[in-house]
Amino acid sequence: MGKRELSNVTITLDGATLAKARVKAAESNASLSRYIGEVLRGHLGKEDGYWAAYRAWRDEKPLRLKGPYPKREELYDRPVLRRR
C-alpha cells in the first residue's frame, strides 16, 4: 500500500455511539481513529461503486426490440382476465 497523507479531524459523537465505536475498534484490534477511517473508507467506496455502476448502465446503448408486436386486444383477450 502506498503512503498516504493523513489529516487529523475532530468529530463529535454521543456517548452511546462512542462506546460502541470503541468496542468495535477493540474487536478489530485497531485504534478508534483507524477504525473510524476504515468505516468511512468502506462507506465511501460503496458509494463510488454505485455511481460507477450507474454510469455504466447509463452509457449502454438502448436495446432494440424486434417486431411484430401483438395487438393490445390479443394480449388482453384471455379467459382469466374476462369478468364473469
Where exactly are the structural domains of the chain? Answer: 15-81
Is the torsion defined by CA of 63, 67, 73, 77 positive or negative?
A: negative
Is the pTM above the cut of 0.85? no
**Bigger pLDDT: 39 vs 4:** 39
Whether residue 84 is predicted with pLDDT greater than 70 in this model: the reply is no
d(CA 41, CA 35) in angstroms, rounded, equals 10
Confidence of residue 64 (pLDDT cuts 50, 70, 90): confident
Looking at residue 22, its amino acid is R
